[in-house]
Amino acid sequence: MEGTGLPHDPYNLIVAGVGGQGNVMTSRTIGSMLASQGFFVTIGETFGASQRGGSVMSHLRISGRCSWSPQIPLGQAHMVVSMEPSEAIRVLKDFGNRGVKVITNTRPFLPVGVISGQLSYPSDEEIRGWVREMAEAAWFLNATEEAVKIGAPVLGNVIMAGALAGSGELPLPRALFEGAARKRFDGEVLAQNLTAFDVGVAAVAG
């Protein structure tokens, strides 16, 4: 939409993953960066005991016009950022469409049914194939592995936020991330967060 710098208004972003992966933090980080630029941001999320080890999803609505509902209508996602590959596929079932874009971590978080040998988990190759088939554009990165290299698996969330910034879909300038990170962290943790953001940007922009 003209004037707002958004490709769609409202822009519908889904951040998906598994309970405990840091979904809420990721969506807050992205949402706060956008809200600080004057956008109306609504984040809908579910959490609680029923979500432990289960699928979790945050719905972000970004608009230059007004506040939108905390639930994205079916089939209306513009972008899916997933901390877990099979969760990206699960989200597309209800919210995907031919124009949707996907950025996903490739590191699986196995469901208990798979661990116990009752269900099987698809191969990396199968997942990539299906995501490419169902999305207009797709980026795959091993955010968990990269995060461990930087210092902690939890930085995978920052890498994914960086990747979203790198896709150029939403105005998420590095300076803004740095400013927010400086308020919360210092020393090595700050450096790790900034590195993680940059790694994410590079993985998608490249």
Contacts to other proteins by CB under 8 A: 18, 28, 31-32, 35, 38-55, 67-76, 86-87, 89-90, 92-94, 96-98, 111-122, 126-127, 130, 133-134, 180, 183-184
Q: Evaluate whether 183 touches 161 at the Cβ level (below 8 Å).
A: no
Closest of 22, 28, 21 to residue 43, by C-alpha? 28
Q: Helix crossing, 187-205 with 143-150: angle to 10°?
A: 150
Distance in Å, CB of 83 to other proteins, minimum: 13
* Residue number with CB closer to other proteins (5 or 73): 73
* Residue number with CB closer to other proteins (171 or 202): 171
Distance in Å, CB of 200 to other proteins, minimum: 21
* Residue number with CB closer to other proteins (2 or 133): 133
Distance in Å, CB of 140 to other proteins, minimum: 14
Distance in Å, CB of 133 to other proteins, minimum: 7
* Residue number with CB closer to other proteins (3 or 38): 38
Closest of 33, 5, 2, 7 to residue 173, by C-alpha? 33
Distance in Å, CB of 205 to other proteins, minimum: 26
For the chain, how many residues are written? 206
* Residue number with CB closer to other proteins (51 or 202): 51
- Give the Cα-Cα-Cα angle 22, 133, 101 (nearest 5 degrees): 45
